[in-house]
Amino acid sequence: MQRVHYDDDHHAFGELATQFAAKEVAPHIDGWETAGIVAREVFAGAGAVGLLGFAADEKFGGLGVRDFRYNQMLIESFMDAGCGAVGLSFAVHNDICLPYLADLTTPEQQDRWLPGFVSGDLIAAIGMTEPGAGSDVAGIRTSAVDAGDHFVVNGAKTFITNGQNADLLITAVRTSPDRHRGLTLMVLERGMPGFERGRNLEKLGLHCQDTSELSFTDVAVPKRNLLGEIGHGFEYMMRNLPQERMQIAVGSLGRARAGLRWTVDYVRERTAFGKPIGALQNTRFVLADAATEVAVAESFIDRCVVELNAGRLSPADAAKAKLWATEMEFRVLDSCQQLFGGYGYMREYPIARAAIDARVTRVYGGTSEIMREIIGRDLDLDPTRGRRPA
């Protein structure tokens, strides 16, 4: 089925991303997986060809085009190349961090940060998750105390993607006890005394995507690094969560589609009992189900991307996209991996790496259970909710 929401410019950008992934990423992926981190140079290489910060204004080196279809093309191209972990590192930089740095910054901050962001010389990460506050964003405890011309920040973050490589950390801190109005965003920069990076966490999958523990001990953060207004951090994060969840949904769709393609190619060549295993009815039925699930997910996600571009995507629809895509991805990859037999358990086959990498998608960006809660609340099933007591 033709994906009608793309035009020639999107396809050209997708071809650029595909070529970059094949030439500059795929040959190095095994080494980066072993090292547990992507070389910083790959960000600079991506920036040089226009794959980073393309939504930033042209005066900072971007294209000045805010169109999530380009983000979608980039993620899908990397998934198709079996380099999803690198694509997702770029996605954190482009899809999650750029809206904060483009929309909440002063002209002085933009001049300081955006040129390096677009070129890949400044790598960005976002510090929300804490050891005691995962999906509960309002439970953040990292504190920032007003000290005149700066804030003094103390606390810790965990599971931070790009944590080792990051030069700019968009950090959620608590500036007052109020659960929601007490959160503020500020940018911590590499080299600030007291800003320490802990271990690069050993994960089940996404091995080359550096994921870190970070700690802050009396870090002096100048007030010129404040993002937006004090006390509006929760509002800003909630505003950007639909795009973050769409980024995850798009990645899950891309990985599932790639896994399906690899499996179709494999069953055409692999023989059992004297004929290709693709000729077996069970294989056809399994892949028919997988192809249908991918096609249904693609249709809904593409529609959600159009709504996101128009500024109409609701939190509930973003949650539906993430919930369906990540759960679908798990089912499809599990079925495909089974058809590879023992080879599906070998990391030299991309289906094995994809299946391992996919496991976390039902957790980060809000667990599947949290997504169901958001969707359920939107259905307004409790007639007593919001009523004043008699």
Catalytic residues: 244
9-14 long-range contacts (CB < 8 A, ≥24 apart) are 10/69, 10/70, 10/73, 11/73, 13/70, 13/73, 13/74, 14/73, 14/74, 14/76, 14/77
Longest dimension (CA), the chain: 79
Write out the H or E segment, with its range, that includes residue 222: strand 211-222
DSSP per residue, 158-184: EEEETTTT-SEEEEEEESSS-TTTTEE
Interior CA angle at 256 toward 165 and 306, to 5°? Answer: 80
203 three-state secondary structure: coil
Provide CB contacts within 8 A for 166, sequence distance 6+. Answer: 123, 124, 125, 160, 190
What CA–CA distance (Å, rounded) separates 47 from 50? 5
In angstroms, the CA 166 to CA 93 distance is 9
Could you give the CA distance from residue 281 to residue 89 in angstroms, rounded to a whole number?
39
CA of residue 353 relative to chain centroid, distance: 18
User: 């994060």: which residue's tokens?
Assistant: 237
- In angstroms, the CA 94 to CA 100 distance is 10
Q: Which of 54, 50, 63 is nearest to 94 (CA)?
A: 54
* CA dihedral angle for residue 332, residue 336, residue 337, residue 340, rounded to 10 degrees: 180
